[in-house]
Chains A and B, each alone.
Chain A
């Protein structure tokens, strides 16, 4: 994988913009759901789904695909938007989020939606599943990679550290984990509620290759994933510094936007700011 050329970069910025707009619309219509993390992760997910992951949306079970596990399942809107826009299911279906009989459950459900590797939403589960997939890939001598998204608040769960120990022990260099390090959880700042710093040192101590990057900068995103993929002998974790609700100014650093749906005027204002960000140089 190489860094994107200017044309690819332009396309990715447009995709990230589309994903953000859809996330706001989805959560707004559902009147429930997690908007802040979804917006903050839009650039990473655009890079991942449109460029980095080896996958075939028309054949979700393709054996050679890279596996992706969303351990922080509450940011399902950004996953669903990414899946719809890469062709896993019709884009119109996004507006059924959290509605009765929808395939787009409040948190990802494997048995409802093809392309979801495992049901998540209960925090701390996904990383262990990704470790199991990476061990299985090694045992089957398969060459695909396993990707896993985790949250910083989620990493207060002990099971994350059990999985971290395990991946470090087995030297799973076919595993790339990335953390949404936005410092926000439902009740406030992660460092006020349960101190996580020094985050990088913790993962290093667990025998991981640690990369720190800006999760809202495409150059940094690609550089980080590239470093992770090429590192041998240890699993890699990318600590992506992101902003909750990026680029919506009134969401940044405000924990209420972890899980509160925007009211009509708030959704309108968020969409305006997202549009202004896109037009203001980020169209590239």
Chain B
């Protein structure tokens, strides 16, 4: 499975913002599918919607700073057979528009793809109002809504392309900052099917988003202590990959989850709920512990809130004692 990983990952890490994927994927898909329309709310450049707008001005809608209306308009367009990809910052697209997303997308079962950028603490200096850490919680509890958290730009392009083929609402979570390219071009992507990036026997680290890279680095640290770590890239939080979790529970007997999101309501919660109902194993969580972020540089914030490889390694040592 090493061919799933970027060839330079352990030597010279390349970085790219996952938000670039929105511009890349929509402007590529727009060539062959004229149902695709892109909507944004005065953040064209930030979410890379301008890449689509430059190629397809007739199918681009800048709705102004009115996110609730943007979501409602997208629902109306979807009812008419168009395929709206809607993008703005994570706080607004989920938090501000929650009621519209709930009623007009999930309950009404409309074919709208929500794409959030600027999620997590790594948004950085703008601080709490712009650091969305509860979006996965909000979205995964909505019936019919499916939730994807890609780990890098390559995977995000594949996710944005894959959701085009599935009817109904999706939430795809991207980030603002440059993140390591973890996966290779050849790595497969299937909605609801996690990617095992490294096999191991003692414990499974289940990560998504930018924490996948940290999980792989944690596995390297732990290898030196003769701890064998399986790393699962759980890009789809909903529906969860039950099969991979069952195999991991049976074969490694302990879980550590890692995400740039509140543990409560995020990937950690989803995995824990699965485990208690299917195959109880000890679970430790790396993520935000019921706390807001603050202003700072992305890297400083990852350190400060203990979202690093060393923190995942520490959680692994802790969970092994509970096995």
Residues of A within 8 A of B (CB): 69, 109-111, 117-122, 124-137, 139-140, 158-159, 162-163, 165-166, 169
Contact = CB atoms under 8 A, between A and B. Distances in A.
Contact of B80 (A120, A128, A133, A166): A133
B72 A136 contact: no
Given A110-B108, A128-B72, A136 B82 contact: yes
A56 B213 CA distance: 56
Interface centre among A132, A135, A163 (most CB of B within 10 A): A132
Contacts of B107: 109-111, 119
B160 interface: no
A111 B109 contact: yes
A166 B110 CA distance: 21
A129 B61 contact: no
Given A111-B108, A125-B100, A129-B79, A135 B73 contact: yes
A173 B295 CA distance: 46
Contact of B59 (A110, A122, A139, A159): A139
Which of B59, B82, B108, B110 counts the most chain A CB atoms within 10 A? B108
Interface in B57-106: 58-59, 61, 63-64, 66, 68-69, 71-82, 99-100, 102-104
Contact of B69 (A118, A131, A137): A131
B61 to A, nearest CB: 7
Q: Which of B66, B69, B77, B102 has its CB near the most chain A CB atoms (within 10 A)?
A: B69
Contacts of A124: 68
A159 B80 contact: no
Contacts, number: 103
Given A111-B108, A121-B103, 8 more contacts: A69-B76, A130-B76, A132-B73, A132-B77, A132-B78, A136-B77, A136-B79, A140-B81
A45 B66 CA distance: 31
A121 B108 CA distance: 12
Contacts of B73: 128-129, 131-132, 135, 163, 166
A129 B108 CA distance: 11
Majority secondary structure of chain B interface residues (helix, strand, loop or mixed): helix
A139 B58 contact: yes
Given A111-B109, A139-B59, A118 B76 contact: yes
Given A139-B58, A166-B69, A128 B64 contact: no
| Chain A interface, >50% SS class | helix
Contacts of B110: 118
A119 B74 CA distance: 14
Contact of B68 (A130, A134, A159, A169): A159
A163 B76 CA distance: 12
B77 A133 contact: yes
Given A118-B79, A119-B104, A121-B103, A132 B74 contact: yes
B103 A120 contact: yes
Contacts of B82: 136, 139-140
B37 interface: yes
Contacts of B74: 132
Contacts of B78: 132
13 contacts: A111-B107, A117-B79, A118-B108, A119-B108, A131-B73, A131-B76, A132-B73, A133-B76, A133-B77, A135-B76, A136-B79, A159-B72, A166-B63
B76 A136 contact: yes
A133 B80 CA distance: 6
A122 B75 CA distance: 15
A139 B103 contact: no
B80 A137 contact: yes
Nearest to B84: A132
Given A128-B73, A159-B69, A165-B66, A135 B61 contact: yes
A130 B104 CA distance: 12
Contacts of B61: 135
Contact of A128 (B59, B68, B102, B109): B68
Given A117-B79, A136-B77, A136-B82, A129 B109 contact: no
B79 A133 contact: yes
